[in-house]
Chains A and B, each alone.
Chain A
Amino acid sequence: MAVMEVRQLSLSRGGSPVLHDISLAIEKGEVFMMIGPSGSGKSSLLRCLNRLEEPPPGSVFLNGTDITTRPVTEVRCRVGMVFQQVAMFPGTVAENVAFGPTVRGETLPPERVRELLDMVTLSPDLAEKSARELSGGQAQRVAIARALANEPAVLLLDEPTSALDPIATHAVEETLLGLRERIGLTLVWVSHIVEQARRVGDRVLLLDGGRVVRVDRAEAMLDPEQGDERVLAFANGDESGMQMRGRQTEEDDRGHAE
């Protein structure tokens, strides 16, 4: 059974549609990439998966349970999230890592903090350091450890490397793939870099104008020779071309309706 499933999800914000009739299933231990031009709805889709945005009832399922029927704080522990702009909270690295258990009134033992830091390939000696003194790449890995402290089944990643330099990007990618190997974590990863999707993804979803353009295996979709021309256009920075095509299609639709 799929660990996360989206069924016919449509979403509007302020009267304008953001997502149209999205259906997909994400398997356990999979690295599922979401790519698409800016404004395509990929972040909104991701945020529906942990209810940072409210999906309609009966459209998002975690292990077969409609997430809108569960307490939202519980859903967010099971479905962790890491953001593009890392926000380290005031205090030490250890306090940051323990944030989730702390707000639930639990304590995270120091050994567990060290273990989590080790899992994200950081030195456990960082535990007592002030979190605001970390480099960008270190902070992002602390943010991952912080999400892992809640023992999530799925980790949502909203462009987790786009604020990082290439070396830190590589470290974060390696860390995340290592977690999949080590604890079978499922990753749902929004990226605007096709190259990254090719490096780390098992399957790729291409979104445009809030609609699924295609979902397929990364190698089939992103192959420079035989890949999907729409993806390759996007990969070559031809966002405008893609959006033009999207608009064209909408106009065609309207033409049929009339």
Chain B
Amino acid sequence: MDMLNEIGDALGNLDDLPRIALALALVAIAGLISRWQQADLEKDLTTSSVRAFIQLIAVGYVLELVFNQDNPLWTTVLLLVMIAIAARTSGRRGKQTPGATWVALVSIGAGSVLTLAVLVIAGVFDYVPDAIIPIGGMIIGNAMTTASQVMNRMSDDLLDSRNQIESMLALGATSRQASLVQFRRALRNAMIPHIDTTKTVGLIKLPGAMTGMILAGASPLEAVQLQLIVMYMLVGAVTFTGLIAAYLTYRVFFTGAHQLKALRPAPDAG
């Protein structure tokens, strides 16, 4: 009965539907323009808008439930589900890397759990759903992008530099020594957007967490303080995840005997 009441309460909260419908009018206008200009985007616009609506409303209900339960177990289950979805998404992106889903799962999982653990143990956030779920979501989302970028860049780079890497191996270098350049490049490539955002934050655009807080009525100074925490934690999370993803990707491409695996046919198999 409790649960039904809760659902009833939550349904009662869907009183912003008219405003959503008005915002949706913008998408409709975009669709009309697309049609007029034959940009052929109407279908994508419709699917993505409908999908976003269903997905977010569903997520809203799930979060309401978990928040109302206020049970650390439920919070943990939800975090794990988020990590699993992120790993699957990232794994699909990194198809070139054998076992990409596992690389993604381990790097996103370890990177996110480590960051959250530091935040909770240091007392920055309490382990309560209304703090941990949104914070965890931000961390996992950023970790997911990082894992995909590191895997893709590194596998492309390792395969393209086959000649140079094998030349180094043939001179007695270890696989770690022979792939150090590619390792660094993949990591830097994934980190630079975060470092740049951190440098110019607030000067170019107000970040999401801050925008949200200000819209919800918080004072700019409150919003800024939270934003700083968010930014530092994200830099930590993407660094942990990036390092783990780069290390695991490198391990996938080499054998224990310092051989670069032939994952793409060699140019001359003769």
Contact = CB atoms under 8 A, between A and B. Distances in A.
A85 to B, nearest CB: 5
Contacts of A77: 171-172
Q: Is the interface of A mostly helix, strand, loop or mixed?
A: loop
A23 interface: no
B49 interface: no
Interface string A29-53: 0000000111111111000001111
B258 A13 contact: no
A38 to B, nearest CB: 4
A74 B258 CA distance: 12
A246 B201 CA distance: 68
Where chain B touches its partner, the secondary structure class is loop
A150 interface: yes
Given A40-B270, A43-B270, A50 B170 contact: yes
B231 interface: no
Nearest to B166: A52
B164 A54 contact: no
Interface string B150-178: 00000000000001101111111110010
Contact of B170 (A37, A52, A54, A104): A52
- Which size bracket describes the interface of B in this complex? 20 to 34
Q: For A40, A80, A103, which residue has the most chain B Cβ atoms within 10 angstroms?
A: A103
A136 to B, nearest CB: 14
B257 interface: yes
Contacts of A150: 171-172
B44 interface: no
B171 A54 contact: no
A81 B166 CA distance: 10
Interface residues of A, number: 38
Nearest to B255: A54
B270 to A, nearest CB: 4
Interface string B62-104: 0000000000000000000000000000000000000000000
Contacts of A43: 266, 268-270
Contacts of B163: 83, 85, 87
Interface in A68-93: 72-74, 76-77, 80-81, 83-87, 89
A44 B168 CA distance: 18
A83 B257 CA distance: 20
A62 interface: no
Interface in B230-269: 255, 257-260, 262, 266, 268-269
Interface of A: 13, 36-44, 50-54, 72-74, 76-77, 80-81, 83-87, 89, 99-100, 103-104, 143, 146-147, 150, 159, 192
26 contacts: A37-B270, A42-B270, A43-B266, A44-B269, A50-B170, A51-B257, A52-B259, A54-B255, A54-B257, A73-B172, A73-B258, A76-B169, A76-B171, A77-B171, A83-B166, A84-B268, A86-B167, A87-B163, A87-B164, A99-B171, A100-B171, A103-B171, A103-B174, A104-B172, A147-B170, A192-B270
Interface of B: 163-164, 166-174, 177, 255, 257-260, 262, 266, 268-270
